[in-house]
Copies of this chain bind each other. A is one copy, B any other.
Amino acid sequence: MPYTAEHKQQTRTRIIESARRLFNRNGFEAVSIGEIMSDAGLTHGGFYKHFAAKEDLYQAAVLQFICGDGPEQWQAKHIDPNAKGEALARMIVDAYLSRDHYDDLDGSCPLIAFPSDVARGNGTVKDAFRQVMEMMVGAFEANLPKGKRPARERALALVSMVVGGMVLARSVGDEDLADEIRATTRRQVYDAAGWQL
């Protein structure tokens, strides 16, 4: 068999990385297969050697966020990989609601980049989306102080808040208002989690 299996895998990964970047910025529909392949340094024809249809890329692009190697800059900048417990949970919140994340259109979390696209998509994409969400819920759940309600419940609420806040910030088209939304959401998350600012 010519072209080693790793080679194909690498190419496939390159395609997915290009797709995620372009999808993140422009949405599923607005990006053509040709653009993605070209961005990955290939031509349009080879696409179907890796995927049966464009839709299959949606799922892969969403999962790339948690399967790709290494955190994004906006994550690395705010999260100390050695941190644990409350400190870690706070770092995740800070990273998520950071200006860096807000500005990083290419590398942002898929929960922010395409919620409505996924809501309209097929079960496969939704499943990928759910996985990303559950991963985030899990990260909070494991690092939340005890409270009157179950940790999962509070973790889910925190995810709702940070996702909602960033989604709104990205959509209002006003930097100052976006800053206000991010800052406000962060304070309220801290309150809800029982953390000091």
Cβ A172 vs Cβ B130 within 8 A: yes
Interface hub of A115, A119, A185, A191 (most chain B Cβ within 10 A): A119
Given known A153-B188, A173-B130, A191-B192, contact A168–B111 (CB-CB < 8 A): yes
Cβ A185 vs Cβ B157 within 8 A: yes
Stretch from A3-11, A50-58, A120-128 that touches the partner: A120-128
The answer to the question of A113 belonging to the interface, with a C-beta cut-off of 8 Å to chain B, is: yes
Distance in angstroms between the alpha carbons of A133 and B177 in the assembled complex: 11
Distance in angstroms between the alpha carbons of A172 and B119 in the assembled complex: 7
The answer to the question of A167 belonging to the interface, with a C-beta cut-off of 8 Å to chain B, is: yes
Q: Find A172's partner among B112, B129, B161 (CB 8 Å cutoff).
A: B129
Q: Find A129's partner among B111, B156, B173 (CB 8 Å cutoff).
A: B173
Q: Find A161's partner among B118, B153, B157 (CB 8 Å cutoff).
A: B157
A13 to chain B, nearest CB (A): 24
Which chain B residue shows the least CB distance to A180? B156
Interface residues on A, range: 35 or more
| Complex copy number for this chain | 2
The answer to the question of A29 belonging to the interface, with a C-beta cut-off of 8 Å to chain B, is: yes
The answer to the question of A30 belonging to the interface, with a C-beta cut-off of 8 Å to chain B, is: yes
Which residues on A are within 8 Å of B, measured CB to CB?
25-27, 29-30, 111-120, 123, 125-127, 129-130, 133, 149, 153-154, 156-157, 159-165, 167-168, 170-174, 177, 180-181, 184-185, 187-188, 191-192
* A129-B172, A162-B164 given; 18 more Cβ-contact pairs under 8 Å: A111-B171, A113-B116, A115-B116, A116-B116, A117-B117, A119-B171, A126-B171, A130-B171, A130-B174, A130-B177, A133-B172, A154-B188, A157-B187, A160-B160, A160-B164, A160-B168, A164-B167, A192-B192
